[in-house]
Chains A and B, each alone.
Chain A
Amino acid sequence: MLESFAKLATSVAKESRIILRDRQALILFFIMPVLFVLILSLALRDAFGDRPGATFPVLVVDQDGGEVGEAVMSAFAGSGHFKVERSGRPAPDIAELERAILEDRYKFVIMIPAGASEQARRRVEELAANAPPEMLSAQPVELRMLADPTLRLDYRTMVRAALAGTLQGMEMKLYGRQLEQNLKAMGIPAELPHEQNGTRIFAEVRDQPLHSGDKHIIPSSVQQNAPAWTLLAMFFLAVPLSVSFIKEREQGSLFRLQTMSVPPWVVLGGKTLPYFIINQIQMASILLVSVYVLPLLGGDRLDIGNAPLALMLLGASASLAAIGFGIAVALFARTAEQATSFSSAVVMIMAALGGILVPLAVMPPLMQHFAMISPLAWGLNGFLDVFVRGGGLTEVIPEALGLLGFSAACHALAILRYRSRL
């Protein structure tokens, strides 16, 4: 047994030496994934739109200069998602505003017509006096919105809903004020509460992220990209691993080892352990870069939660799954070319399906359902459990078991194939 472990150590050292002498492979293993995470986390940070920094520039053309404009301004400025600019009178013309949007200076333009506040006040007064509709002199106040045509429809809907909410609040305020005046005119003393703290009926809706620890983290692009590209890098290692196996088979060194008194687990372990270590280094380097380097470049810092054991379990399980896949490919493929094209195609499909290339959150429900057949989706979910949902070791066990099951299935297939060749 001791001799077999000595042989395993020798095999690991030999394989590591071969890998370390392959500079192209080293760049592919370590530099590429880190660069991907840096580039994509920086490039996509606003696409996730979940931080104060991710802002849409909005122009409020306020020809009114009254309280309607004030209400709109404060509603947008308070959300943190918008960078609001105000333009007073004289108003720029529509063509100029459209150009400003097409030139990407603003995502939205909100236009408040002149006299809007006064018109709103008069309309409330007439409605409160129960004037019949045909006798109303003040028409409904109409605000207009211009939006970037390339924006997603849900963003436009969201802004329109925010505006509607603000105007509804404005209506309530004007009605209250009118009611107060009417009561006073009838000799009834009335003092309704006005915009004072503690006078609201409904408190602000609290957006409570799901969590089981004491972290409340809003997902950011780095929290998606760091685990996603870690997993992709890990699974892509199946390509060189399978090629390396096939090369050994073609060169005859695997045959030579089989003629020696070397147990198969030593041959297998000696080949795969270095790749397991590479996978762990890949994960550690991507996480470290996301925590320490990304903020220096202006990106978000990755909050890795407080469950290092859960991360280690996920890293080990994902690596074993990738290695199992690589071994199965090596046993079934006849040539290195066949292994390369097959394994990279399968990994890319699993990545696309598993929310690596396109986040699961933006997929339609049916696709999210299908995504769950990809082991990469299990891994990604596990990482998001830790990074976003504040989960720990217990929460990632189902995902880890899934990955280990996938690994076991691949190994079983490989063993069956190996035995059928004897």
Chain B
Amino acid sequence: MNDPVCPAANASSLAPAFEAENLCKTYKGGRAPALDHVTLTIPRGVIFGMLGPNGAGKTTLLSILCGLLRPSAGQVRVDGKDVRYEAACIKRVLGVVPQEPAIYPTLTARENLGYFGRMQGLSGDRLEERIRACLEIADLVEVADEQVNHFSGGFKRRLNLVIGLIHEPQLLILDEPTVAIDPHSRYFIHQRLRELHAAGVTMILSTHILEEAEQLCQEIAIINQGKIVAQGPLEGLLRSQRGNCIEVRLESDPPDSLAATLRQLPGITDVLVMGRNFRIVTPAPDEVVAPLVATLKANDMRVLSLSFGTASLEQFFLSRTADRGAS
């Protein structure tokens, strides 16, 4: 019942922002584990992209990091503190921006900020100052006293974002903060996130918009079927992908047998098929191009585009989650 006494923030400031070790979570009645021995370290001061297809386990992982779900096994430390024993202290330094605008529609923007600010333990002048600052960050000063149910989707998302910032958290979890909004509002939110990054705030950004992750994140993890399938600095991951694959886009749907035919070509180690897109994995792309094009022609397949030597995050993501995409 007593309000927790938390150690000063600098006591654990050298620890990574988030650490998960052998984290497992199985839901009652679930066929497969939602998280399967996930080990993850998120350093301070980065925007960390948490990527994965729907149902991969992202929300479960984020819920455990927030202290909302108990893991079945494994350890989680946030800001150097164990979530099992120091959840209350963690919540004080952690801000969460849920996917759907978690706001009260019949309250005004100012009332929403005031309510959640008080729930974070703010009061008096400090609260007023934070409300003002958040309204300015979200550029909502002019509509601060209007009921939120009159707001556009973009305005709601901006308010949703700044409610997560009301107590000036040093760690921030953002779950799809820009989904279903117009490009202007998205750009606006991206700018605010860059400013927060510049101010030293550590962020976990869960998103399906890979372009967004590519623009904002310094590090990423890709989670698929409850497992981390890739993790590290974004540049390094893309560099590792560069040069060992050829991307082919065909004009028409290929026959089912084409992938097997291509796999038999010398120098090709794997072929991934996603509709009309083929990824040819090879250690020597230059030598494989000519026989590849010849084989496609022999199978009456016209090539729309062919590229090698570069890899986008989207390509990287698709390659790591291909089994799900193909299925």
Number of chain A interface residues as a range: 20 to 34
Known: A261-B4, A261-B91, A422-B69. A256 touches B96 (CB 8 A): yes
Q: Please name all residues of chain A whose beta carbon is closer than 8 Å to the beta carbon of B115 when the two chains form the complex.
A: 10-11, 14
Instruction: Give B106's nearest chain A residue, CB to CB.
Output: A21
Cβ B107 vs Cβ A18 within 8 A: yes
Cβ distance A139 to chain B, nearest Cβ, rounded Å: 83
Q: With the chains together, A253 CA to B97 CA distance in Å?
A: 10
Q: A3-B3, A256-B96, A422-B70 are in contact. Are A262 and B102 (CB under 8 A)?
A: no
Query: Interface readout for A54-96 with B: 1 if CB under 8 Å, 0 if not?
Result: 0000000000000000000000000000000000000000000
Nearest residue, chain A, Cβ from B4? A261
Interchain nearest-CB distance for A6 vs B (Å): 7
**A341 close to B (CB within 8 Å):** no
List, in ascending order, chain A residues with CB within 8 A of B89's CB: 261
Instruction: Given A1-B3, A17-B107, verify A261-B121 contact (CB < 8 Å).
Output: yes
Could you give, for residues 72-90 of chain B, a 1 whenever the CB lies within 8 Å of some chain A CB and a 0 otherwise? Answer: 0000000000000000110
Contact B120–A260 (Cβ < 8 Å):
yes
User: 1/0 per residue B1-16: CB within 8 Å of A?
Assistant: 1111000000000000
Within 8 A of B (CB), among A248-280: 251-253, 255-263
Whether A168 is near chain B, meaning CB under 8 Å from some CB there, is no
The smallest C-beta distance from B65 to any residue of chain A, in angstroms, reads 10
B68 with A260: CB separation less than 8 A: no
A261 B116 Cβ-Cβ under 8 A: no
A18-B107, A252-B100, A255-B102 given as contacts; is B118 within 8 A of A260 (CB)? no
Q: How far is the CA of A241 from the CA of B120 in the complex (A)?
A: 24
Q: Is A122 an interface residue (CB 8 A)?
A: no
Interface centre among A7, A252, A420, A422 (most CB of B within 10 A): A252
Measured as residues with beta carbon below 8 angstroms from the partner, the interface class of chain B is: 35 or more
Contact of B67 among A11, A257, A259, A263 (CB under 8 A): A259
Pairwise interchain contact A259-B91, C-beta atoms closer than 8 A: yes
- Rounded to whole angstroms, the CA-CA distance of A258 and B87 in the bound complex is 11
Q: Give Cα A422 to B84, complex, Å.
A: 13
Residues 1-30 of chain A, each 1 if its beta carbon lies under 8 Å from chain B, else 0: 111101100110010011001100000000
Contact across chains for B163 and A22 when beta carbons are under 8 A apart: no
Cα separation A17 to B100 with both chains bound (whole Å): 23
CA distance A1 to B5 in the complex (A): 11
Q: Is B31 an interface residue (CB 8 A)?
A: no
CB of B98 within 8 Å of the partner chain: yes
The reply to whether B106 and A4 contact each other, CB–CB distance below 8 Å, is no
Establish whether residues B1 and A10, one from each chain, have CB atoms under 8 Å apart when the complex forms.
no
Given A252-B100, A252-B101, is A10 in contact with B66 using a C-beta cutoff of 8 Å? no
Shortest A419–chain B CB gap in Å is 10
Residue of A18, A21, A261, A263 with most partner-chain B CB within 10 A: A261
Taking CB atoms, residues of chain B closer than 8 Å to A6 are: 118, 123
With both beta carbons as reference points, the residue of chain A lying nearest to B89 in the complex is identified as A261
B96, B104, B106 — most chain A CB neighbours (10 Å): B104
A260 proximity list for chain B (CB < 8 A): 91, 116, 119-120
The answer to whether B96 and A259 touch across the interface, beta carbons within 8 angstroms, is yes
Across the A-B interface, the 5 shortest Cβ-Cβ residue pairs: A252-B102, A259-B96, A256-B102, A261-B91, A252-B98
Binding site for B on A (CB under 8 A): 1-4, 6-7, 10-11, 14, 17-18, 21-22, 251-253, 255-263, 420, 422
Q: What are 17 pairs between A and B in contact, CB < 8 Å?
A: A1-B2, A6-B118, A7-B118, A17-B111, A18-B104, A18-B106, A22-B106, A251-B105, A252-B102, A255-B98, A256-B98, A256-B102, A257-B119, A259-B67, A260-B116, A261-B92, A422-B69
Q: A17-B111, A256-B116 are in contact. List 12 more A-B contacts (CB 8 A).
A: A3-B121, A4-B1, A11-B115, A14-B104, A251-B103, A253-B102, A253-B103, A259-B94, A260-B119, A262-B119, A420-B28, A422-B68
